[in-house]
Amino acid sequence: MAGKSITVQNKDAPGEVLKRERDSKVKPRLSFISLVAAGMEVKEAVTHFGTCVTTGYHYPLIDT
């Protein structure tokens, strides 16, 4: 996974969606994506959320 990145077209979009989201399973994913979109490295974000790097790279791809 080293060297991969997550590209977010509109870095404010995850935060805006997070404000309106009510699903408790989706909120942590949106929070994670918001941090990465704001410039945090995936490895740092997964440490913050207590998950693994593989999960961090899959968060944007998970359909809920």
Cβ partners under 8 Å of residue 45, min gap 6:
32, 35, 36, 56
Q: What is the pLDDT of residue 12?
A: 63
Q: What is the pLDDT of residue 28?
A: 85
What mean pLDDT comes out for the span 28-42? Answer: 85
| Measured distance CA(3)–CA(22) in Å, rounded | 33
Domain ranges of the chain: 13-61
46 pLDDT tier (thresholds 50, 70, 90): very high
| Measured distance CA(51)–CA(7) in Å, rounded | 20
Q: What is the pLDDT of residue 23?
A: 82
pTM: 0.66
What mean pLDDT comes out for the span 3-29? Answer: 69
Task: Indicate if the pLDDT at residue 18 is higher than 80.
Answer: no
Q: Percentages helix, strand, coil for the chain, rounded to the nearest 5?
A: 55, 0, 45
Can you tell me which residue has the tokens 């974000």?
45
| Measured distance CA(13)–CA(60) in Å, rounded | 13
Q: Which residue has the higher pLDDT, 30 or 11?
A: 30
